[in-house]
A and B are shown apart, each in its own frame.
Chain A
Amino acid sequence: MLQVYDTEITSRLLLGTAGYPSPAVLSDAVRASQTQIVTVSLRRETAGGKAGGAFFELIRELGTKILPNTAGCHTAKEAVLTAKMAREVFRTNWIKLEVIGNHDTLQPDVFALVEAARILSNEGFEVFPYTTDDLVVAERLLEAGCRVLMPWCAPIGSAMGPQNLSALRSMRAHFPDVPLIVDAGIGRPSHAATVMELGFDAVLLNTAVAGAGDPALMASGFARAIEAGRQAFEAGVLEPRDMAVPSTPVIGKAVFS
């Protein structure tokens, strides 16, 4: 059981809703993932358009909690306004706060992120900040009112997997009581299992599932890997050793010559 703000969730997989071949495939993937939280966004509606309404209906039918994002915002002001508009539509105080600072890497602008997180927290939002693995930034986000942190492990959509395991370990060690959700950069189930083994509380995925040949099957694979990684963390993972250690007892071994 994981608690994010005042909500308890049993699934440690959060799933994005972008990039699926069709709405039906999206629905199948969400069900196969057993996720309880999906991410969505807000975009301009065309005059007379009903696309947003149809999409919203599809999402509501899935029965999960909705985590709107501020994807594509490049300033704190844009992100704050987008968050307020998202609250108006989705009727939730949750917001996945993204403030992008670099076009190529989609790295967060952590200065604007902290500023926006403070403004939104003061206005009653429950902020899920997409951040880096920088410990000082993490401290500032907590001071700003965040009670969840979502560090990247590699650039969004890159599928590279964890690029800095020691930084992720350090983050886990520094913030033992803060829910830490790895957001962005996961490419395959083994990546997700790796960060879960380190003790991260959950993983947010999108492209790795949406871009798979069979998104629903991949969603199921990720769900199992995340569960396996979590069980390994709770069980206590054996640390690597430099030398071989026989697993079969040596005492009582027969001597044949």
Chain B
Amino acid sequence: MKLNVNGDEHEIACSTLAELMAALDYEGSWLATAVNGELVHAADRDGWRLRDHDRIEILSPMKGG
């Protein structure tokens, strides 16, 4: 499946958002996720099925003004 994760194209075998994150070694309670411009709560990642060409954003706390 072709997926865009944080702006980078990936060809990866996974069916859910949680599986994608595990495959790419994303872990931590501080991560926030969105798929195709919609927030996906942490609790919903296990059941969130991905589709070809989905755009995924994985964000993390950062300094800011």
Contact = CB atoms under 8 A, between A and B. Distances in A.
B63 A44 contact: no
B65 A47 contact: no
A40 interface: yes
Nearest to A52: B60
Contacts of A41: 61-65
Contacts of A206: 65
Interface size bracket, B side: 20 to 34
- Main secondary structure on A side of the interface with B: mixed
Interface size bracket, A side: 35 or more
B58 A44 contact: yes
B2 interface: no
Nearest to B41: A88
Contact of B31 (A40, A45, A156): A45
A90 B41 CA distance: 13
Interface in B9-65: 24-26, 28, 30-34, 37-39, 41-42, 57-65
B50 to A, nearest CB: 16
A19 B63 contact: yes
Residue picked from B24, B31, B61, most chain A C-beta under 10 Å: B61
Interface string A1-33: 000000000000000111110000010000000
A51 interface: yes
B61 A77 contact: no
The 3 nearest A-B residue pairs measured at CB? A52-B60, A41-B64, A16-B65
Interface of B: 5-7, 24-26, 28, 30-34, 37-39, 41-42, 57-65
